[in-house]
Structure formats: C-alpha cells, structure tokens
Amino acid sequence: MATLNPTQGPAAGGNSVVITGTNFTGATSVKFGNKSASFTVNSPTQITATAPSGSGVVGVTVTTPGGTTSPVNYFYVPQPIKTTLSNTSGPLTGATTTISGANLSTASSVTFGTVGSATPTVVNDNTITVTAPTATGAQTVPITVTTKGGSTNGLFFSYVDAPTTTGINPASGPEAGGTASTITGTGLSDTTSVTYGAASAAFVVNSDTELIAYAPPGTGTVTVNVTTPGGTDSTQTFTYVPPPT
C-alpha cells in the first residue's frame, strides 16, 4: 500500500480516506489500528474508506485473500478548543482578533455566524489570529473554528455601529483645561477614549446618548474624537480660550 489521502482527520472519524496501492480486488477488510472501517473498492488500485473514531497515530492496513498490507500511518487530530478572544467586539468593517485555546494548528477557517468566514493565521497550536468579515448591521454572532480535528464554538463577537455625536456643551473653555462638557449622540455606551486633538481626556459615560468629558490643557480649536469598538466620531470641536493679559 503506497498512500493515504488525507493522512489525518478528526478524532471523531467519519471522514473519507482514499487508499492507493495495488491488488485491492477482493479486499475483505480495512483497519485503522485495531478498528475496522467501512470501505468501497473503487478499482484494483484504489479503496475509499470511512475512518472510524480514534486517537493518536495508527496504522492503516488492507486485507485481501492474498494477505495484509504493511501499515501506513494515519494521524487523528484532536478537536479544537478555544477559550478566549482578544477583541470581543469591533466595527461593522471587521476587526482583527486573537483566538486562544488548544489544538488550533490546523485551523482552516473561522466563521462569524451568518456574516461569513475568514481564513486565520496560525501562530502556534494555542493561538490563531483572524480578521472578522464585514457585517451589514450591528449584531452579536457565534464564532466557529474549523480544523482537521473538527469544529468548535462557544465564543461570540459583537459588531458595533460607529458612534455619532450631535453636540458638545460647552464647546469652549480655558487653556488650563478642566472644563466639563456634555457630549451627546448615539452609540456612546462603549466609549473607550475621548481626545481633544491628540490629548487624552477623562470622561464618564452616562448613557448610550450622553457622556461627560473633561478638557485637558490645550490651545486653539481642536477636534474632539470619541472612540468606541465601532469606530471614531470626530464631528465636534472645542475652542480653548486664552487667559486675559
């Protein structure tokens, strides 16, 4: 017996394995280790077998009235396990997230609910990275990782609408900073940062439509940037008023 295709498969079994060799006519059994497999003789040189469940590395043999072949190794791949996501939410345009777990080295696809699938980058057996495909609206979807050992789910990714701001009051204050301004809009509940120009501002989120930001020191007129996992809104401005001289 010369080859197996594929040479590995899920521990649960059930996948088709094509065995190529010679003199297979009249084959009476195919075994994966000590487990018998169902099979079909396609031709004197080819058999298609259904792998039984198993673990580790086993030898595959074919028995005919003429004898039994030498074993060819077949590897059972453990089912993937995923435990954490580095980013559990992101914009509708997608975001890169790291999935940590075990048995991930043969990962071939990551599916985000009905949004779509993406091809991951394998870092090692415990880590893969993937960029979520683009969604058409805010939603939370299950993540399914598929490897040669099977599929697993249990983690979720939330697509978040970009924030919008409709006003800032007051829109000016002293150059020394400290002005408390109410910023109104939508999608503000998951705000991760507020900046006045390039300077970070302290803030408190009151609701999905309102937050209070405290202006850092600055000069001139600057853009107020409100950032959430869904993106950044830069609609509002704040003007620093110089002190009298």
Q: What is the pLDDT of residues 32-70, one digit of tens each?
A: 999 999 999 999 999 999 999 999 999 999 999 999 999
Cβ-contact 181, 171 below 8 angstroms: yes
Residue linked to tokens 């990551």: 110
Is residue 178 over pLDDT 80?
Answer: yes
| Pure H helices in the chain | none
Q: What pLDDT was estimated at residue 25?
A: 94
CA 119 remoteness from chain centre:
9
Tell me which of 1.10.3720.10, 3.40.50.2300, 3.30.70.60, 2.60.40.10 is the CATH number of domain 164-241: 2.60.40.10
Q: Which fold has domain 3-77?
A: Immunoglobulin-like (2.60.40)
Residue-wise pLDDT tens digits, 102-156:
999 999 999 999 999 999 999 999 999 999 999 999 999 999 999 999 998 889 9
The DSSP symbol for 21 reads -
Q: In what order do the strands lie in the sheet with 172-174?
A: 164-169, 180-186, 210-214, 199-207, 193-196, 221-228, 231-241, 172-174
Task: Mark 193-205 as b/e (b = at least 16 C-beta within 10 Å).
Answer: ebbbbeeebebeb
SS3 18: strand
Chain-wide mean pLDDT for the chain? 95
Q: What is the four-CA torsion angle of 48, 52, 58, 59, rounded to 10 degrees?
A: -30
Q: What pLDDT was estimated at residue 200?
A: 98
Is residue 204 over pLDDT 70?
Answer: yes
Q: What pLDDT was estimated at residue 120?
A: 97
Is residue 199 over pLDDT 70?
Answer: yes
Q: What pLDDT was estimated at residue 1?
A: 65
Residue-wise pLDDT tens digits, 16-31:
999 999 999 999 999 9
As annotated, the residues of the chain forming the CATH 2.60.40.10 domain(s) are 3-77, 81-160, 164-241
Q: What angle do CA 112, 113, 114 make, to 5 degrees?
A: 110
Q: From 30, 21, 17, 25, select the one nearest 63 (Cα to Cα).
A: 30
Cβ-contact 90, 229 below 8 angstroms: yes
Q: Is domain 81-160 annotated with CATH 3.30.360.10?
A: no
